[in-house]
Amino acid sequence: MDNINREYIDEYISSLIEDEGNELKDFREYCEERNLPIIHKEVGQFIKLVINQLNAKNIIEIGTNVGYSSIFMSKVMKEGKVVTLERSERFYKEALKNISDFGLENNIQVYFGDAVDILDEVEGNFDMAFIDAAKSYYRIFFDKCLKKMKPGGIILSDNVLYQGMIASDELVVRRKKTLVRNLRNYLEYISHDKRFVTSVLPLGDGLAVTLIN
Ligand SMILES: C[S@@+](CC[C@H](N)C(=O)[O-])C[C@H]1O[C@@H](n2cnc3c(N)ncnc32)[C@H](O)[C@@H]1O
C-alpha cells in the first residue's frame, strides 16, 4: 500500500502494460531485486505515451540512478538523445556500464555532478524533461530545465505525491516535514503559474505533467 492508489488498482493497471522486451525486463527485475528506486511501470508507460505524442528527439533527465529510465526512454525514442545527470559517483559509474551493455553510449550522455550546480552547463533544446531526483530541489531543477525547453515541451516530475504525504497531513512523518513543504510549494507553483498547464496524476508515487506554453 503506497497511500496513493489501492494495490489492486496498481496491479491491474500494471497487468495491462506490455513487457518492455526481454533485455529491459531482466534489467527492471534486477533493479527491483536490489530495491533501486527506478520508475514504476505505469509511469514508464505514461512516459512512452508522451515521447510518442511529442515525437521527442531530445530529452533531459535529472536523476539517472543506474540508468533504467534513460535506457527505457532511449529505446522508446528509437532515434534521438537522452541527457541525464547523476550526483552519486557509484550510480554514475554503474549507469555508464549499463548503458554501454545496452549499446546506447551514443544515444545517452551521462553527466556526473549535482544537478543544482551543473544543470546550467548542459546545452540543448529539449522536447521533454524528466525530473526524478532530490525532491526538495524540484523547483530549482524545473526552473533550470525551463530555460532549455522547446515551446510545447513537457516537463514530468516524479514522486510528487510522496507516499500520500503531500495530500494528507495525517500521513506526514516528522523527518519528512521539510520535503513535504517543499513539494507542496512546488505543486502550487507549477499548478498556478500562467506560463504552464499542469495536471497531477496519481500514477506510481504521483506524476506531475506540465505543458510549457
Ligand atoms: C529515483 S532515483 C532515479 C531513478 C531513475 N530515474 C530511474 O527511474 O531509473 C534518483 C537519483 O537521483 C540522484 N540525485 C538526487 N539528487 C540529485 C541531484 N541534486 N543531482 C543529481 N542527481 C541527483 C540520486 O543519487 C538517485 O540516483
Tens of pLDDT along 53-66? Answer: 999 999 999 999 99
Whether 41 and 110 have beta carbons less than 8 Å apart is answered as no
Coil, strand or helix at 164: helix
Distance CA(103)–CA(172), nearest Å, equals: 42
pLDDT tens, residue by residue, 89-126: 999 999 999 999 999 999 999 999 999 999 999 999 99
Q: What is the DSSP code (8-state) at residue 122?
A: -
Q: How many A from CA of 61 to the centre of ligand 1?
A: 9
User: Does a structural domain hold residue 1?
Assistant: no
Question: Best of 64, 70, 142 to mutate for ligand 1, by most ligand atoms within 8 A of CB?
Answer: 64
User: Does a structural domain hold residue 2?
Assistant: no
pLDDT tens, residue by residue, 62-83: 999 999 999 999 999 989 999 9
**Count: domains in the chain:** 1
| Pocket of ligand 1 from Cβ distances under 6 Å | 37-39, 63, 65, 68-69, 85-88, 91, 114-116, 132-134, 137
Question: Best of 39, 65, 158 to mutate for ligand 1, by most ligand atoms within 8 A of CB?
Answer: 65
CATH number for 19: 3.40.50.150
Sign of CA dihedral 7, 10, 12, 17: negative
pLDDT tens, residue by residue, 41-56: 999 999 999 999 999 9
Q: From the centroid of its chain, how far is CA 120?
A: 19
User: Does a structural domain hold residue 196?
Assistant: yes
Q: How many A from CA of 117 to the centre of ligand 1?
A: 14
52-85 in b/e form (b: 16+ CB < 10 A) is: eebebbbbbbbbbbbbbbbbbbbbbbeebbbbbb
Is residue 185 predicted with pLDDT exceeding 70? yes
Instruction: Please give the share of the chain, as a percent, with pLDDT higher than 90.
Output: 92
User: Does a structural domain hold residue 156?
Assistant: yes
Distance CA(197)–CA(34), nearest Å, equals: 36
Instruction: Please give the share of the chain, as a percent, with pLDDT higher than 70.
Output: 100
Structural domain including 104 reads 7-212
pLDDT tens, residue by residue, 192-201: 999 999 999 9
pTM for the full model?
A: 0.97
